[in-house]
């Protein structure tokens, strides 16, 4: 049980969304000018101890952020709506016995810490809350 399995569960479900252009962390990706793409980031929060004992699982939670980059704002909003339906609250995902529970999805107006893009495009971050125990 690990963050790698947790991210694999989320990434595998995103691949089922069938977007051709997805930028995953640690993998080479070069966006083509004027082409829509998705950018993924796993942002864990500090783990919490729920039960006492050295061998007891910890409560892990955080955000799975999917940033929609699209030259057309209406298309970007449509993609965000489709992703919210795909990653609905209450969805449970598994990968190698790692269970991940999804919570609410919220849309931000800008990507924190990002520099302005030289491309004329919309960048909308969709933050999906998740939790798991390991």
- What does the H/E/C string look like for 87-108? CCCCCEEEECCEEEEEEEEEEC
Structure tokens that stand for 108 in this block: 């931000």
Return the CATH fold of 3-133.
Answer: STM4215-like (3.30.2000)
pTM for this structure? 0.87
Domain boundaries, given as residue ranges, for the chain: 3-133
Nearest of 31, 54, 27, 55 to residue 41 by alpha carbon: 27
**Along the 134 residues of the chain, how does pLDDT read in single tens digits?**
689 999 999 999 999 998 889 999 999 999 888 899 999 999 999 998 877 667 778 999 999 999 999 999 999 999 999 999 999 999 999 999 999 999 999 998 655 555 555 557 889 999 999 999 98
Provide the pairing of β-strand 22-23 with 37-44: parallel
């Amino acid at each position: 049980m690990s963050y790698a399995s947790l991210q694999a569960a989320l990434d595998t479900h995103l691949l089922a969304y069938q977007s051709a252009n997805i930028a995953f962390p640690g993998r080479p990706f070069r966006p083509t000018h004027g082409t829509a793409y998705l950018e993924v980031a796993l942002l864990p929060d500090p783990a919490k101890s729920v039960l006492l004992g050295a061998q007891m699982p910890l409560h892990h939670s955080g955000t799975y952020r999917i940033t929609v980059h699209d030259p057309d704002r209406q298309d970007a909003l449509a993609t965000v709506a489709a992703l919210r339906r795909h990653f609905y609250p209450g969805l449970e995902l598994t990968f190698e016995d790692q269970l991940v529970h999804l919570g609410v999805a919220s849309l931000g107006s800008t990507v924190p810490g990002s520099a302005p893009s030289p491309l004329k495009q919309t960048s909308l971050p969709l933050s999906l809350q998740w939790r798991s125990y390991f």
